[in-house]
Amino acid sequence: MPDATTPILAVEDLAVHFPMGGGLFGGARRTLKAVDGVDLVLEPGECLGLVGESGCGKSTLALSILGLQAPTRGRILLDGQDVAASHDRRARARIVQMVFQDPYSSLNPRQTVRRTLEEPLRLHGTTDKAEIESRVAAILARVGLRPDQAERYPHEFSGGQRQRIGIARALVLEPRVVVLDEPVSALDVSIRAQIINLLLDLKDQLGLAYVMISHDLGVVEHMSDRVAVMYLGRIVETGTWRDIFAAPGHPYTKALIAAIPDPFRDGVHARITGEVPNPLDPPTGCAFHPRCPDALPLCREPPAIAFEPLGTGHAARCRRVHELAA
């Protein structure tokens, strides 16, 4: 049994590589390293923000945590147990669930809300009709919907209400970890704050831990306890949200923060330019060096950059991090 100090989720040296063929006319086979040596820890009750540009590997990492993408190497521990080794997907689903980005496409249009919420309970062995009805009514109330709305279909709800249904579906099995994949990016601006506040309330009320995937650092700053910044399949900086936003160490993190549309933020950092390199042919040394305004020739040199500590729980993969901080 895990003790009180065991993280609810631990990702150890996780890699997800996809071999790519040479195409119709042959050619050399190459490997796309979508995730390449990621280490993460999630404590009970905390929210870890996972940020980075599109294509950096965030969603692939999330699918691996959920058991929907087999890792090439590494381990994923839930409550101290190696879930990949156990091959028990139902046991994993009782611990970790997901709220998807798009509330319009993530719900089955042919199923009522009741059936959407009852189905996971039945699949996981709950057969008592009264218990199922009670749990469905309770989770709808938790997310701000009425029990009588369970008889409706998804098209009868607004976007914000559909996302509440998606949250209810994720929570009906009473998981301890919820992966939030851009949970408000598809919603109207007027609705986003409501859903963010709902997620924060549920985290406190139910003792949930969140892995929140986002490219919107404004949302991450508001919700997260700690932040991990991802670039080209690797974590390049990690720390508390105060560390990351007050004293970012990696030039990529600085550029992401500078891009936040906030007239009151001190925009002293250079904004990010250029395109993400081809993951089939990543740069040597620091993968960010082709786009980095502070890069020197040494940044191009192998091996890959190791983490440099910046304080308790705060570290960045940058050879010049202390020099730039000074």
The predicted pLDDT at position 193 comes to: 92
The predicted pLDDT at position 118 comes to: 95
Range name among 81-95, 118-132, 299-313 with the lowest pLDDT average: 81-95
With respect to residue 16, please indicate whether it lies within any of the assigned structural domains: yes
pTM of the shown model: 0.90
User: How many of the other CB atoms lie within 10 Å of CB of 111?
Assistant: 14
**Which sign, positive or negative, has the C-alpha torsion 180, 240, 216, 143?**
positive
Specify burial of residue 87 (Cβ count, 10 A radius: 0-12, 13-18, 19+): exposed
User: pLDDT confidence of 4, banded at 50, 70, 90?
Assistant: low
Return the higher-pLDDT residue of 216 and 300: 300
Six-digit token string for 163? 């996302």
Q: Summarize the confidence of residues 53-75 as an average pLDDT.
A: 92
Please state, in angstroms and rounded to a whole number, the distance separating the CA atoms of residues 152 and 256: 41
CATH number, position 80: 3.40.50.300
Mapping DSSP to helix (H, G, I), strand (E, B) and coil, where does residue 276 land? coil
The predicted pLDDT at position 140 comes to: 97
Six-digit token string for 291? 């786009």
Please state, in angstroms and rounded to a whole number, the distance separating the CA atoms of residues 205 and 209: 11
With respect to residue 132, please indicate whether it lies within any of the assigned structural domains: no
Q: Residue 13 — left, alpha, or beta (φ > 0 → left; ψ -120 to 50 → alpha)? A: left
Please state, in angstroms and rounded to a whole number, the distance separating the CA atoms of residues 293 and 271: 9
With respect to residue 143, please indicate whether it lies within any of the assigned structural domains: no
Cβ atoms of 255 and 249 closer than 8 Å: no
**How many domains does the chain fold into?**
1
Mapping DSSP to helix (H, G, I), strand (E, B) and coil, where does residue 192 land? helix
Cβ atoms of 195 and 168 closer than 8 Å: no
Six-digit token string for 267? 């925009």
Q: Domain of 52? A: 9-95+175-325
Give, for 134, the enclosing helix (H) or strand (E).
helix 129-142
User: pLDDT confidence of 180, banded at 50, 70, 90?
Assistant: very high
pLDDT digit string, tens, across residues 145-164: 999 999 999 999 999 999 99
